[in-house]
Structure 1
Amino acid sequence: MIKKYKNSILLLCFLMGLTSATEPGVNGKRTEKADQGWRINFPKQVEYCEQMPSSDSLFIFFMAGQSNMAGRGFVEPQDTIPNKRILTIDASMNWVYAKEPLHFYEPKMTGLDCGMAFGQSLLDSLPEGVSIAMIPCAVGGSSINKWLSNQNHRGVALLSNFKSKVAFAKNYGTIKGILWHQGESNAKAERIPMYAQQLDSLIAIFRETVGNDELPVVIGELGRYTEPEDKQARWDALNLQINSVADRDANISVANSEGLTHKGDGTHMDSESQRELGRRLAKQYLEVTKVTK
């Protein structure tokens, strides 16, 4: 009887071990079951471009910055419906019809970004013969200091990666703008005063790389939803730095973050806010460029 009882206890412990290995984890780490749930709507099939648009009709946009540009939102079925006029690249630099998630640098953390929402919104104001390409270059946790010094961050040499993607994309279309969302990593008391100057310098590098001194850059503000109050105050101060850069350059615009919400962690935008950010970035781009059908 005692032996049978011990065997039952061992079996129960074994089954509990299996269960715990697949349940949601702690400290922000998703376990197997949670990860499968997170990816449940990720596209099961890649659709390679059947025929590339003519180079003069392909408008190319780069997505750069850290995690809120890379995307941490939950991907829903509506985010994976391709539009043959919105393209992107995969990790092997193949052109594919865009489906969320667009970023691929951090496969264990990637989620919904603002790229598809930006492209869909922009198409409404572009001539019907124009297609859009969204090129992912954002890496979570990257500071602007690392971008400026081309540091390797989470396996990506930030500036070198951007430059190589620019060289590649130029062969297929016209680079029309850059979307930038970054700053959470720089929202520290000693770093905030330097941010505007650093952002000026980085935008100059971006424009030099593309070969267009007036290349439009649209920047998303940091969220207005974090806690505690002193942390939000630092984010607000960094937003002032961002807006000061736009105030000095007619080809830079800022999408405000009013009303955007996070997914429960105080840092990363939820799915609806990612889509709204994309729409706001598109609106600001159109105001800067005065593009009409």
Structure 2
Amino acid sequence: MLTYIFLIILVVSLANKTTDGNKNIFILGGQSNMSGRGGVVNNIFDGFIPPECQSNSSILRLTKGLTWEEAKEPIHQDIDFYAICGIGPGMSFANFVLKNDPNIGVIGLVPCAVGATNISQWSQGSIFYNQMLNRTRVALQGDGMLRALLWYQGETDTLNDDAKLYKLRLYKFFTDVRNDLNTPSLPIIQVALASKFGPYTEEIRQVQLETQLQNVKTVDANGLKVGPDFVHLSTPSEVQLGQMLANAFLGFGSAHNLL
């Protein structure tokens, strides 16, 4: 009888977790290194989940069907469905934030990244942009609080001299997202590229590292190990990147409450 009562309490508790409106919402945007290719070799995910990326009842993710569920790797599996997803930085980020700010409450991850997308494909009004905004607005229903946009994108833009327009397009993207979500001070944490994917990598990295917008931080992935394809971060690197993103977010202090 006591076991039965315990099971009922557990089910109710989990249900409250997935419907509780007091969620800290984080958008995960960009391309493949955000959606995650850690542990993917020859289009096969090895299934290894590092301890830093394990599921936690206080970490939820918004599914493709716009419902909440307990997050588990690969968290972009139904969003970036053009390729096989593996480990990304999202779960490591969330677990590290919880570890260092145990009073933060429930974290709601909103995966939106899509591999091989250039910055123009994220321009205001585009399919991916509209999908990201729609998913975020659904996530915010029920008193959810938008805490930050985590952004890792740019490899595709290193391939040609269109890179000279990257700064203008990136700044406009960040500004448009803030305006359309009515969060003018939204913290944004972007990643400066790790891989030397194309001939204009340094031009893109320079824009990322020198971004001069309020409440925008850049973490530098340079030096993180990439996998056999020389583009995608390895599983340990994705874990480390997630913790770097978490440290950057926690570094905002009280600033991330001023939305």
**Matched ranges for 1:210-225 at <5 A:** 210-223=181-194, 225=195
**Matched ranges for 1:68-107 at <5 A:** 68-74=33-39, 75-78=47-50, 81-103=54-76, 104-107=78-81
Equivalent-residue separation in structure 2 for 1:263 and 1:164 (angstroms): 33
Does the Cα contact within 8 Å between 1:186 and 1:195 map onto a contact in 2? yes
Does the Cα contact within 8 Å between 1:106 and 1:139 map onto a contact in 2? yes
Equivalent-residue separation in structure 2 for 1:261 and 1:204 (angstroms): 31
Q: Hey, what does 2:133 align to over in structure 1?
A: 163
Equivalent-residue separation in structure 2 for 1:127 and 1:81 (angstroms): 16
Q: Hey, what does 1:13 align to over in structure 2?
A: none
1:118-138, CA deviations, whole angstroms, 9 ceiling, x for partnerless residues?
001111232425111111000
Amino acid at match of 1:197: L
Does the Cα contact within 8 Å between 2:61 and 2:109 map onto a contact in 1? yes
CA shift at 1:171, angstroms?
0.6
Distance 1:77 1:186, change over 3 A: closer
**Matched ranges for 1:20-99 at <5 A:** 49-52=14-17, 54-55=20-21, 57-74=22-39, 75-78=47-50, 81-99=54-72
Q: Hey, what does 1:244 align to over in structure 2?
A: 210
Distance 1:145 1:114, change over 3 A: same
Equivalent-residue separation in structure 2 for 1:226 and 1:196 (angstroms): 18
Q: 2:147 aligns with which of 168, 176, 185?
A: 176
Equivalent-residue separation in structure 1 for 2:175 and 2:14 (angstroms): 32
Q: Hey, what does 1:193 align to over in structure 2?
A: 164
Distance 1:148 1:129, change over 3 A: closer
Aligned length: 232
Where does structure 1 differ by over 4 angstroms across 4 or more consecutive aligned residues? none
Which SS does the other structure have where 1:240 is aligned?
helix
Q: More displaced, 128-137 or 281-290?
A: 281-290
Q: TM-score, normalised by structure 2?
A: 0.82
Higher relative contact order, structure no. (Cα contacts within 8 Å, ≥ 6 residues apart): 2
Amino acid at match of 1:133: G
Structure exhibiting the larger radius of gyration computed from Cα positions: 1
Equivalent-residue separation in structure 1 for 2:49 and 2:97 (angstroms): 21
Distance 1:180 1:164, change over 3 A: same
Does the Cα contact within 8 Å between 1:59 and 1:130 map onto a contact in 2? yes
Which SS does the other structure have where 1:124 is aligned?
helix
1:260 counterpart = 2:234: no
Does the Cα contact within 8 Å between 2:121 and 2:128 map onto a contact in 1? yes
Q: Hey, what does 1:113 align to over in structure 2?
A: 88
Please give the root-mean-square deviation of Cα atoms over the aligned residues, in Å: 2.2
CA shift at 1:208, angstroms?
1.5
Q: Hey, what does 2:6 align to over in structure 1?
A: none
Q: TM-score, normalised by structure 1?
A: 0.73
1:236-256, CA deviations, whole angstroms, 9 ceiling, x for partnerless residues?
2211101222xx223000111
